[in-house]
Amino acid sequence: MAWIRQVADGEAEGRLAKIYESAKGRARKVFGIVRLMSLEPHVLQASMGFYQAVTTSPRSPLPRWFRELVAVEVSRANDCFY
């Protein structure tokens, strides 16, 4: 298993601290997938923006619940618990 250094909640500063607080506001915690990008907050922010645009954009012809269901099914098929 690979080991990647991650920034803990109490160590986060600046932009990363804001991203962590936002994550906690949405999910009440910071998930590991977010922590994996914590050493590069600008990459993390871009990734989160992309994910939110894909799953929550009101301009999509598919309803949000369906887009999120697809994401869950893909994760399940990949044995990913996120």
Q: How many domains does the chain have?
A: 1
pLDDT at 55: 81
Digit-coded pLDDT (tens) for 17-64: 999 999 999 889 999 989 999 999 999 999 999 988 888 888 889 998
In a domain, 3, yes or no: no
Q: Using a CB cutoff of 8 Å and minimum separation of 24, what contacts does 67-70 make? A: none
pLDDT at 1: 54
In a domain, 18, yes or no: yes
| Model confidence band, residue 3 (pLDDT cutoffs 50, 70, 90) | confident
Give CA separation, 18 vs 9, 44, 54, 61, 75, in Å: 11, 12, 22, 31, 27
In a domain, 48, yes or no: yes
Structural domain range at position 63: 12-77
Sign of the Cα torsion 33, 35, 38, 39 reads negative
In a domain, 2, yes or no: no
Residue 73 clears pLDDT 70, i.e. is over it: yes
In a domain, 5, yes or no: no
In a domain, 32, yes or no: yes
In a domain, 37, yes or no: yes
pTM check: above 0.85: no
In a domain, 38, yes or no: yes
Residue 2 clears pLDDT 80, i.e. is over it: no
- Average pLDDT over every residue of 63-73: 90
Contact 34, 44 (CB under 8 A): yes
